[in-house]
Amino acid sequence: MGTDSEKRFKHVNHLCDHVIRHLNPSQGLLLFIGWRHADKLGVFTLSHSRMAKHSGLSVRHVKRVVAELVARQALKVLEEGGGTRPATYKITGKWE
């Protein structure tokens, strides 16, 4: 079945080969940043401001791109954020 490290590389290879190439550069960048912070199930909790810091994009642009990724089903919101609490997302490994 492979080690956890092998599984993560398989997951990122799938994202690069089958998902990110269908997205615009901002969408691909944020999906990759999410993967970098995700657990082995593809779940991550990261605020819009942290995504902006890691990507060099504005917070406003990050919010727009995250909404696009959710609409395209590349990300699923598992738990809505609120106040200072960031949302929790799952990388689905697909797109629409």
Poorest-pLDDT segment among 6-15, 36-45, 64-73: 6-15
- Is residue 78 pLDDT above 90, yes or no? yes
CA dihedral 17, 23, 26, 27 (to 10 degrees): -90
Please give the residue that has the higher pLDDT: either 1 or 61. Answer: 61
- Is residue 13 pLDDT above 90, yes or no? no
Q: Which fold has domain 4-91?
A: Arc Repressor Mutant, subunit A (1.10.10)
Q: Please state, rounded to an integer, the average pLDDT across all residues of the chain.
A: 89
Three-point CA angle 26, 31, 33, nearest 5°: 95
pLDDT the model gives residue 75: 95
- Is residue 95 pLDDT above 70, yes or no? no
Radius of gyration of the chain (CA): 13
| Residue 27 near residue 69 (C-beta atoms within 8 A) | yes
Domain ranges of the chain: 4-91
